[in-house]
Structure 1
Amino acid sequence: MEPITDYHQTIREWITRFSKNPNCDFGSALHSDSSRYPMVEGGGNFDAGKMVVRALNTGVDALRAIVDMENRQKRVGLNVPGLSVLSRTGMVSASLAIWLLEPDDADIRFEHGLRLSRENIKQFKAFADKDGVYTKTVDPKMTEVATAFRELAKAEVAEIEKVMTQHGFNPGRQVENSAILFEIAQRLNGWDGDATDYRKPVLDAWRKTSGFAHALAWQYEIAFDLPPDDFYDDVVAAPEILMAIAIDLFDKRRTA
């Protein structure tokens, strides 16, 4: 991974790059990974390529918002809760992409992807299960649409779990974002021959921002031991480090 010397410029380049969906070569690892997923007519069909690109888009958008906040920060001070939420979004987005892309074993990537695809569909179904409230709050037609989504989601989850069982994967294993981030962070040191200690600052930033993002009381006891500028640097660096690794892996897996 190339060292980042100007984070503003790097983020601007990512914003331009992910303003449209990047190409994925036929025959590349990512294309091959995606072709293994079950296809359900009318379903979400969240395969590896779709999930990776959307995670990267979300992470880059979070970093864009962080940079936008920096200009306002100079006038009115640090917006710690807002910055914390954006930093966490960037960290989650990048770590999910790394989790899907990093293992050299295609079967491990496939298992990770099926688990995350199922989680997407389950959350989609949870939204659809609230269809009764939409008649009054959104649009009367929404109930009909959500009901159709719910039935499709049930069928799609069943198909994903069937494929998992066929491949010997445990269909009961859940996806949890912070656990994935911690798993990825354990592997950061020595990444690509780099001797920099990335793991500790990433985990420190996650823990500090978690407190603010969840409106907990304890974070005020520790978060401002550092000057505000240092706090800002920490919670910007963590998602950017992860995003740089995720994009490097994406380029590796998307080219034949």
Structure 2
Amino acid sequence: MAHDLVEFDTQKAHSARMYDYYLGGKDNFAADREAASTVMEVFPETAQAARANREFVHRAARFAARNGIRQFLDIGTGIPTEPNLHNAVQAVDPRCRVVYVDNDPLVLAHARALMFGSAEGRTDFVPADIRDPHVILESETLREVLDLSQPVALNLAAILHFVTDEEGAYDIVRTYMDAFAPGSHLAVTHGSSDLNPEVFEKIVGVYARAGMTVALRDKAAVTRFFDGLDLVEPGVVPMHRWRPNPDFYIPEERLAWADTAFGVWCGVGVKP
């Protein structure tokens, strides 16, 4: 059974609009700002972590594009903030094609208005929930933009911790990857239960009070999402340690601090 889109209710916080607030955006409401501000009181590095997450997404996407991937599926897109994933990959090759997916109607409204890519490539949007892989994979829009007989790079940034084991998180990821051709990439960022447990448990509580379930996972549990794939070096690591570049440089003496402060695992796998 397909999940409905999230009801557009400005009185209830939504993770995409909270994330927009973390990044300094203006597409959020009082309920989002209240919940996000509470998170930021508990976790002062929230804005830095959100930026680090975006930087990883761009590095992983560019890595895939440089490896010859020309098709990208980004689920849990969030409210557009320049540069978007298609900007990153179409800078490598303007022919890259991107499908964005989110379940928040506000994201849909902005995606239609803002996600214009290069003339040679294409970007489009599917309103759906990550928990409905068959709805997404069989959507007319996705099939028009992406050729599933060719490799696809799947981006699941800061979304899998909103999908519990009981909801079949691992099976959901496997369903997507099973639908893709060999050579496809999977990029994941995921809130940790073991890098900064005391603070992150408080964050879980803030989201719970706002009506959202967060399922933190430790390194071993995050690594399970890559079962059957070839992990790209350096494997599952704190997100700022994955193939860092000058765009988001953290001095050596601050790396251990950032591991705990950001508290997010990441990795990239390739389907053999």
Answer yes or no: same fold by TM over 0.5.
no
Structure of higher CA gyration radius? 1
- Higher relative helix content: 1
TM-score (norm 2): 0.23
- Higher relative strand content: 2
TM-score (norm 1): 0.25
**Higher RCO structure, 1 or 2 (CA under 8 Å, sep 6+):** 1
